[in-house]
Structure 1
């Protein structure tokens, strides 16, 4: 029984080994990480097995460097599962050490994430500096120089400098006088610096007072800002109220205008009546004074008032005036 189980287990192990052997190309990306590509104008010494770094940290390795028609295709893997390589990522070949070891520097950028087997184009890659190409460019540039014009320019410069030989002592003498003047003012400069230092010390000693003044000024400005905001809100409310009253007056103008006219007429009538009553009272004063004098001297009085009905014609008038009075 034990031999049978051992045989089954051995058979399964052999099957797994055969499966890995036959499907290594499909499984290796899963084991090795994400596979990406980058196109460079030149390899710059980068070889298979060199590290792939992001911010100085190794995150993968170079798997292959393939020469194409006019550029180089570098295939590499990224082993960090949490590293997001955006759609705008760039790549560069940089020196890893002073011994000439190279590394593929990856700079993740952009939105999204590059899918497996994606390619970073030539526009987003940087090849290492080529000294040979730089020397070749220097040779081409120097070969196009006009030596005759260069000789003429150098001769003109030499002649100009030769003419300034006589004025050089004067310039040096001027510099010497300037130095003497600065040296003579050294005491004044020292005094100025001392006063500046004293002023700085005074300001430093009143730092708390200045800070309190600034704080109070800040509080004052805050209060002013609040009052300004309140006044602005009040003006806005008053403007709205005025607009509403104006609209109300325009809407009810047909009804309010006749009412106001009648009110003015009633006021005018009341004013006329007030004036007439005032005049009547003014004229009645002498009569009332005379009537009082007569009543005070006589036991009885008969009086006739025009336009006033007799007392027996108005019910209750006798009670009001007195029954025994004639």
Structure 2
């Protein structure tokens, strides 16, 4: 009996463990070779040139994978990368390319060969190319120029010019020019140092703002795409307007015999209205008091006030006793019948 009670607990624990393993493996589906991570290759370079893990791998400008690792292997750099849904030949070449003006890199592949490249065989150093980093070159040039003793250089040039003072005129003139050039460089030493310092700071600021510039370029691409969409919409609208104008033109041509007399009659109506313009204005002017009076009458809601005058005779004063009629039909009102 105790063993039977423990079995459900063991099964429940095993089920929870399996569920946890499935949840954990869901975060690493891209790394599983069977589920679509792609084929894993290796390339050898003379230098990394700023290439980092997670950088893109492209073939003919299309992203086909990503760099997984960049490490030093003796006198060369070993770059490991994944390629998905793309063919890589046994004579393929690889190069590190500059993706943006701010120095972001990507790995470019050029598939060559007749057979597929074995994943165990790296692309050798002879078929790889590293880029020339302009930013590092300028930084190195700035540091080198900053380390030069310009005053000593100017003194050396002056000594050299004095030593060759007895040489022919053309050589002496050239040396004098070199001397003046060295003096000019020495006099501009502070300016050159300031310029190189500013260049270094500008390079650092641009490198720090790499993501912002990348987003700006992406937003610019979205803006251009939206403008293209608007352009296509406007072109479709103009095409529709052109079709409507063609339909209207055909309609007018088909009904020209009926439209002509109708337009003539409309012109006659307009002439009549022009001739009676003053009468219409007078009628509107006279209609205005009626509208105001009628508005006052019916302005109490769903009913209006109306007075009927002289519908009944005026009331007579109450006088007691009998009164003779003022007039009797057929009788002289002056004389009575018995007179």
Give the TM-score, by structure 1 length: 0.36
Give the TM-score, by structure 2 length: 0.35
| Structure 1 or 2: more helix by fraction | 1
* Structure with bigger gyration radius: 1
